[in-house]
């Protein structure tokens, strides 16, 4: 085949280790091994598609079997061994696709074939691509030969999914992890190739190719090939043309769309989105790019123009910086969650386009919902105060520091320990209290049961006991049918143990006060009703009619500002 008729990915495939891009460490290590004749029994190359796994395998095979030796490896006029390896028809270099040769019988044939020495070269080499597709039985059959092969036999494995390989196989190979090729290096590589091919394509278009290829050399060459074939020979391919060819779209459109969402301009949002949709952009691609913009808005202060993997140009970078200064992080986090949720939901919608438009409308309303006027702010603060008081009164609110974020949990724990220590010192230390402990009211009794770890007694007092009176070592109560039958006996014994006094616990026909748990239910119900009558709740229901109030928490962030 004429070399000029080949696709670029094959035409510019490296023939030696020096031509490899982005794999400097790997190529230097392998070169040193071959020069010093310290060649492992088996190589294992892993990495994403198109970073050079199979290419390196063939270069190693040529380096070991070239008639001229590694130091004078053929570059233009190839020897018979090099020609055979390049064309994949050398008798001693067997290339096998594990996707089609997965069974144990295939491996047995390979082992049988390995018993005979090389015919026309120094080494017999087996190159197995996508080796992770082999069956467990096939791997087990290969283990012994892989560990102690004949001197003339070498294995070279390539895989994109290293985790699927048994550890027993990995441990018998010398492993090389091939990284993605850096954007700058890949850009310079495909720019040089486009010049060699006399292709008229702008730098911005080449940067778009680099972005889409995600560090894969083969992908970038395939995209470049596609662009050069699609373009008019007399006209340079600019960014707009490249976006049409690759089904991508300009980030500036997405940034402008985001600005319109923030401003609440529904018409402009639809106009921009529909122009993007008319370019043939898939909804999933749109959502993923939207997530990318959200990431930049949150982290723009930590990024540099040249460090964003060619995703942003200078103008877009500055636009995002300006928007980021005017929007709160809580809005960005909310948008992020809604976008992730939409990515999950979009598969169940038959018309994904209308799902995307509804997604954008929801974002506009979410942003609008975050803007509250002064009256609403005061109302929210009052509700927060009510909720906070409710929590404190019912002894179910944790330390404020403990609820701010996970980082402050340790501080809250330390405070609790200190408080418990002080409580113990005040109640139990013989030097600081009278010889007899005084329990003055029903609340102190419950707290002391909690301190003494009498959880069952505490539960009965809070849940099943209605207090009628509490005075002078005499407690009068009523109770419900759930009260434990040994409750009075156990409580009397514990009170005598704690206070050294006899207590009288009597039952009353009066209903008594509500139990602590009953009070909590009543107070929470009242608080729910109060919040449901608030203006902010009415506003939420107008914008989200199916919304439902499930629980209430004080907004500690607002209170501490």
pLDDT in tens, the chain (561 residues): 455 567 888 888 888 888 888 888 999 999 999 988 899 999 999 998 899 999 999 999 989 988 888 888 888 788 888 888 888 888 888 888 887 777 888 888 888 888 888 888 889 999 999 899 888 888 888 888 888 888 899 999 999 999 999 999 999 999 999 998 888 889 999 999 998 888 888 888 888 888 888 889 999 999 998 888 887 667 888 887 887 788 776 677 888 888 888 888 888 988 988 888 887 788 888 888 888 888 888 888 777 655 555 566 667 777 888 888 888 888 888 889 889 989 888 888 888 888 898 999 888 887 665 544 444 555 555 555 655 565 555 544 444 344 444 444 434 444 444 444 444 445 444 444 445 677 888 888 888 888 888 888 888 888 888 888 888 888 888 887 788 878 888 888 888 888 888 888 888 878 778 887 888 888 888 887 888 778 777 777 777 777 777 777 655 554 444
- Is residue 207 within 8 A of residue 187, CB to CB? The reply is yes
291 and 327 inside one domain: yes
Q: Are residues 80 and 120 in the same domain?
A: yes
Q: Are 208 and 357 in a shared domain?
A: no
Yes or no: say if 475 and 505 are a contact pair by the CB < 8 Å rule: yes
Compute how many other C-beta atoms are within 10 angstroms of the C-beta atom of residue 53.
25
Residue 130: strand, helix, or coil: coil
- The sign one gets for the Cα dihedral 199, 200, 204, 209 is negative
For residue 157, what pLDDT is reported?
A: 93
Residues 212 and 247: beta-carbon distance below 8 Å: no
Residues 494 and 554 reside in one and the same domain = yes
Both 153 and 37 in one domain: the answer is: yes
Task: Indicate whether 339 and 455 sit together in one domain.
Answer: no
DSSP three-state, residue 159: strand
**Would you state the pLDDT for residue 324?**
83
Residues 64 and 90 in one domain: yes
Q: Which of 339, 369, 399 is the last residue of a domain?
A: 369
Tell me, yes or no, whether 306 and 383 share the same domain: no
| 264 and 367 Cβ atoms separated by less than 8 Å | yes
Rounded distance, CA 377 to CA 558, Å?
Answer: 10
> Are both 171 and 231 inside the same structural domain?
no
Question: Which of 201, 222, 246 is the last residue before a domain boundary?
Answer: 246
Same domain assignment for residues 287 and 270: yes
15 lies in which domain range?
A: 3-177
Domain count within the chain? 4
Backbone angles phi and psi of 155, in degrees to 5:
-110, 140
The model scores a pTM over 0.75: no
CATH number, position 308: 1.20.272.10
Beta bridge partners of 42: 155
What is the structure's pLDDT at 474? 86
178 and 51 in contact (C-beta within 8 Å)?
Answer: yes
Among 329, 353, 369, which residue terminates a domain? Answer: 369
**Shared domain check, 543 and 399:** yes
The residues pairing with 478 across neighbouring beta strands, listed in sequence order, are 466
Q: 133: domain CATH number?
A: 3.40.50.300
Residue 225 contacts residue 199 (beta carbons within 8 Å): no
Residues 540, 415: one domain? yes
Output the pLDDT for position 154: 92
Check residue 450 and give its pLDDT. Answer: 84
């Amino acid at each position: 085949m004429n070399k000029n008729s080949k696709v670029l990915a094959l035409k510019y495939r490296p023939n030696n280790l020096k031509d490899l891009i982005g794999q400097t460490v790997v190529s230097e290590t392998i070169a040193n091994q071959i020069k010093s004749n310290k060649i492992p029994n088996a190589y294992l190359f892993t990495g994403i598609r198109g970073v050079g796994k199979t290419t390196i395998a063939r270069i190693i095979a040529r380096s070991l079997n070239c008639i001229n030796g590694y130091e004078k490896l053929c570059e233009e006029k190839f020897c018979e061994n090099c020609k055979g390896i390049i064309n994949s028809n050398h008798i001693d270099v067997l290339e096998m696709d594990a996707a089609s040769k997965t069974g144990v019988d295939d491996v047995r044939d390979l082992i049988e074939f390995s018993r005979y020495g090389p015919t026309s070269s120094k080494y017999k080499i087996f190159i197995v691509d996508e080796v992770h597709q082999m069956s467990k039985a096939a791997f087990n059959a290969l283990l012994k030969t892989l560990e102690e092969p004949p001197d003339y036999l070498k294995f070279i494995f390539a895989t994109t999914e290293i985790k699927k390989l048994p550890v027993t196989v990995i441990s018998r190979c010398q492993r090389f992890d091939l990284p993605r090729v850096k954007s700058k290096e890949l850009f310079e590589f495909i720019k040089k190739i486009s010049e060699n091919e006399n292709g008229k394509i702008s730098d911005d278009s080449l940067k778009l190719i680099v972005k889409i290829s995600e560090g894969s050399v083969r992908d970038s060459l395939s995209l470049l090939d596609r662009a050069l074939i699609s373009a008019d020979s007399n006209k340079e391919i600019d960014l707009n043309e490249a976006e049409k060819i690759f089904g991508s779209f300009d980030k500036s459109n997405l940034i402008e769309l985001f600005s319109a969402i923030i401003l609440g301009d529904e018409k402009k949002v639809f106009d921009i989105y529909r122009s993007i949709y008319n370019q043939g952009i898939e909804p999933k691609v749109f959502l993923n790019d939207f997530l990318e913009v959200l990431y930049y808005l949150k982290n723009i202060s930590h990024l540099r123009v040249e460090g964003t993997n060619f995703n942003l140009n200078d103008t877009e970078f500055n636009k995002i910086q300006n928007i980021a200064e005017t929007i709160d992080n809580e809005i960005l986090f909310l948008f992020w969650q809604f976008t992730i949720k939409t990515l999950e939901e979009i598969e169940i919608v038959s018309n994904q386009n209308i799902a995307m438009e509804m997604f954008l409308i929801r974002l506009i309303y979410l942003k609008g919902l975050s803007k509250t006027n002064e009256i609403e702010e005061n109302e929210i603060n009052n509700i927060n105060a009510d909720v906070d008081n409710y929590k404190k009164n019912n002894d179910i609110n944790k330390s404020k520091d403990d609820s701010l974020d996970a980082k402050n949990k340790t501080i809250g724990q330390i405070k609790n320990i200190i408080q418990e220590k002080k409580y113990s010192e005040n109640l139990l230390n013989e030097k600081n209290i009278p010889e007899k402990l005084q329990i003055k009211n029903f609340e102190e009794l419950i707290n002391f049961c909690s301190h003494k770890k009498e959880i069952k007694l505490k539960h009965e007092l809070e849940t099943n006991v209605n207090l009628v009176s509490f005075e002078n070592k005499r407690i009068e109560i009523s109770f419900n049918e759930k009260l434990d039958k040994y409750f009075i006996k156990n409580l009397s014994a514990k009170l005598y143990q704690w206070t050294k006094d006899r207590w009288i616990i009597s039952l009353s026909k009066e209903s008594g006060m509500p139990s602590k748990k009953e009070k909590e239910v009543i107070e929470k119900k009242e608080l729910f009703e109060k919040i449901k009558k608030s203006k902010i709740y009415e506003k939420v229901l107008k914008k989200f009619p199916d919304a439902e109030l499930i629980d209430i928490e004080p907004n500690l962030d607002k209170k501490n500002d």
